[in-house]
């Protein structure tokens, strides 16, 4: 098929296909008759336009050759009223617009045109502005043109459709007199129902309800259809594929003069996702309540463990002729026990046993090892076992305990005999005691002793010191002096300076810990015994 230009065509020349044999430009030609048959079976607003050539061969207008049965234009004209009329005769305001240029370009190039048209027409003296979405497709030397109104009514319908889709909601109308039922498209989606099957009645829908919801829905439908009682409830409905959806049904009846329902109008809304979310929230809430109960039980257990394994005195202890104050702060929140521990008791011979220990690790594993060492050490000390021997046996116990969780521990143990004011002490890899005397601080030299659990052949020796009136002795764990990025020597020096500054404080340990320890920066347990003579 060849192309030729329209003579004297405006805007650079327009071209069209050479007519096929037997075709004609007029409405009675072959092209017009064929397209009329096709458009006669279409819905919506669709027309066939054929070009009108002017006296000099230029494209002067388009003529309506055929129209679908449902065509309605801005003035309310139907398709049969449009056939035979021309575009510029019917809509003079179209000349020179983007729509007109689009028609010309589509006819010339053979490329489909799509656009929007704002058109104002005066009807009954009142100007009306409407917007249309227009599509023009070249066909048989003419144009097949379809359009859809985008003015307020159309936009509202589209907006309503969008709201139904987003809200998973659809509407239903039922004429009880004529027996007609209409579903919106969204209702078919809610029930996964093939549109070719048509809508279901409420009675049929009730047979698909699940469990006790079936009897409830059947009863609600009966009361609606017999007495006009409205429905507003959620029911579980089984879909054809076996899935179950939670569907909210809102339905009201219109009654006749005698009060009998004649029409039913309703809404269906898919609440499956909302119900699933609600169930998850309920499960999370129940889980949170169970967790709270568990935490409360753990706190109670921790309190009992604290009182049983490592009671922290509420007052200062007096042992022999010594005054002993205790500070204990575990690193693990919620459980007032850790790997650090102490003992401060009076022995049968009226001497005093003073112990501070540190088990590697934290949590219940360290607590178990701490309890094993603490109670074993106390038991052996009460029987009069020498301090070096106690450490050696604790080392053996730690090495040969099958279910031990912490492999090593440090410990310092002292025995004070009041008659001689003599303090004898041993240590297993622990930090040295700090002695405060006459306003000066010094660390006692450590006797030989490796940490517990490190070797099968340890050597532990004892050292002795005579305490003088006014002396202060501090036994402590490494949590009191350690800071990230700082050496042990720096931490010991800081402890000595701080202790000297608080020697005369009535609450020595409280002032010491408040100065040295930042609660939010603490990473280890802290245990300390302040002994004053």
Proportion of the chain above pLDDT 70, given as a percent: 82
Residue 75, pLDDT above cutoff 80: no
Q: Domains in the chain, ordered, with CATH?
A: 3-150 (3.30.450.20), 165-270 (3.30.450.20), 311-532 (3.60.40.10)
Interatomic CA distance for residues 64 and 80, integer angstroms: 10
The string of DSSP letters for 477-522 reads -GGGT--TT--HHHHHHHHHHHHHHTTT-TTHHHHHHHHH--GGG-
Q: In this predicted structure, what is the pLDDT of residue 277?
A: 83
pLDDT-derived band at 14, boundaries 50, 70, 90:
very low
- Out of 24-28, 325-329, 366-370, the most confident range is 325-329
Residue 34, pLDDT above cutoff 60: yes
CB 339 within 8 A of CB 368: no
Interatomic CA distance for residues 224 and 243, integer angstroms: 27
Q: In this predicted structure, what is the pLDDT of residue 26?
A: 45
Residue 12, pLDDT above cutoff 90: no
**For residues 96-102, average pLDDT:** 87
Q: In the block, which residue shows the tokens 């058109």?
A: 119
Interatomic CA distance for residues 134 and 119, integer angstroms: 12
Q: In the block, which residue shows the tokens 């109308």?
A: 173
Strands 59-67 and 113-123: unpaired
**For residues 72-85, average pLDDT:** 80
* pLDDT tens, position by position, 461-500: 999 999 999 999 999 999 899 888 889 999 999 999 999 9
Q: In this predicted structure, what is the pLDDT of residue 224?
A: 93
Strands (E), 186-243: 231-238
> What φ, ψ does residue 510 adopt, rounded to 5°?
-60, -45
- Coil, helix or strand at residue 80: helix
CB 412 within 8 A of CB 426: yes
Residue 414, pLDDT above cutoff 90: yes
Q: In this predicted structure, what is the pLDDT of residue 15?
A: 40
Residue 386, pLDDT above cutoff 90: yes
pLDDT-derived band at 174, boundaries 50, 70, 90:
very high
**For residues 257-274, average pLDDT:** 88
pLDDT-derived band at 24, boundaries 50, 70, 90:
very low
* pLDDT tens, position by position, 278-314: 888 888 888 888 888 887 787 677 667 666 777 776 6
* pLDDT tens, position by position, 38-64: 887 777 788 899 899 888 888 889 999
Q: State the pTM of this model.
A: 0.49
SS3 track for 96-154: CCHHHHHHHHHHHHCCCEEEEEEEEEEECCEEEEEEEEEEEEEECCEEEEEEEECCHHH
CA distances from 200 to 116, 190, 205, 243, 465 (A): 39, 13, 6, 18, 99
Residue 169, pLDDT above cutoff 50: yes
- Out of 15-19, 428-432, 501-505, the most confident range is 428-432
- More confident position, 35 or 113: 113
How many CB atoms lie under 10 A from the CB of residue 280?
A: 10
Q: In this predicted structure, what is the pLDDT of residue 148?
A: 79
């Amino acid at each position: 098929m060849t192309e030729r230009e329209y003579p004297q065509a405006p805007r650079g020349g327009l071209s069209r296909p050479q007519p096929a044999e037997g075709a004609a430009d007029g409405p009675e030609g072959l092209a017009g008759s064929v397209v009329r048959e096709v458009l006669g079976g279409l819905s919506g607003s669709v027309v066939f336009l054929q070009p009108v050539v002017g006296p000099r061969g230029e494209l002067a207008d388009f003529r309506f050759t055929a129209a679908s049965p449902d065509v309605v234009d801005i003035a309310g004209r139907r398709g049969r009223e449009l056939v035979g009329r021309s575009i510029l005769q019917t809509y003079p305001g179209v000349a020179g617009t983007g729509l007109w240029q689009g028609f010309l370009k589509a006819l010339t190039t053979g490329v489909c045109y799509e656009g929007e048209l704002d058109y104002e027409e005066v009807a009954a003296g009142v100007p009306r502005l409407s917007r249309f979405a227009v599509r023009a497709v070249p066909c048989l030397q003419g144009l097949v043109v379809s359009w859809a109104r985008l003015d307020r009514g159309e936009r509202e319908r589209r907006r309503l459709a969008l709201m139904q889709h987003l809200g998973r909601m659809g509407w239903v109308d039922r004429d009880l007199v004529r027996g007609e039922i209409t579903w919106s498209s969204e209702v078919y989606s809610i029930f996964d129902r093939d549109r070719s099957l048509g809508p279901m009645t409420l009675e049929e829908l009730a047979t698909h309800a699940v469990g006790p919801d079936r009897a409830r829905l059947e009863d609600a439908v009966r009361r609606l259809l017999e007495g006009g009682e409205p429905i507003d409830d959620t029911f579980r409905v089984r879909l054809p594929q076996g899935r179950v959806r939670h569907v909210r049904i809102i339905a009201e009846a219109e009654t006749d003069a005698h009060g009998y329902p004649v029409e039913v109008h309703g809404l269906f809304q898919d609440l499956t996702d909302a119900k699933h979310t609600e169930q998850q929230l309920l499960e999370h809430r129940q889980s949170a309540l169970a967790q709270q109960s568990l935490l409360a039980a753990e706190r109670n257990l921790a309190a009992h463990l604290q009182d049983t394994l490592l009671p922290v005195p509420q007052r200062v202890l007096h042992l022999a002729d010594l005054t002993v104050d205790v500070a204990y702060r575990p690193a693990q929140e919620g459980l007032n026990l850790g790997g650090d521990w102490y003992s401060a008791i009076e022995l049968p011979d009226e001497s005093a046993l003073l112990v501070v220990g540190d088990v590697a690790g934290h949590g219940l594993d360290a607590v178990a090892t701490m309890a094993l060492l603490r109670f074993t050490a106390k038991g052996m000390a009460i029987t009069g076992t020498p301090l070096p021997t106690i450490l050696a046996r604790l080392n053996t116990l730690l090495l040969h305990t099958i279910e031990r969780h912490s492999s090593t521990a440090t410990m310092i143990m002292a025995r004070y005999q009041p008659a001689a004011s003599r303090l004898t002490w041993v240590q297993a890899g622990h930090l040295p005691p700090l002695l405060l005397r006459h306003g000066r601080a010094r660390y006692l030299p450590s006797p030989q002793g490796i940490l517990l659990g490190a070797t099968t052949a340890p050597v532990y020796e004892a050292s002795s010191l005579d305490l003088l009136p006014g002396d202060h002795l501090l036994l402590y764990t490494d949590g009191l002096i350690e800071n990230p990025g700082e050496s042990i020597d720096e931490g010991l020096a800081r402890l000595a300076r701080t202790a000297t500054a608080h020697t005369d404080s009535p609450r020595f340990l409280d002032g010491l810990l408040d100065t040295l320890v930042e609660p939010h920066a603490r990473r280890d347990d802290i245990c300390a015994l302040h002994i004053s003579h």
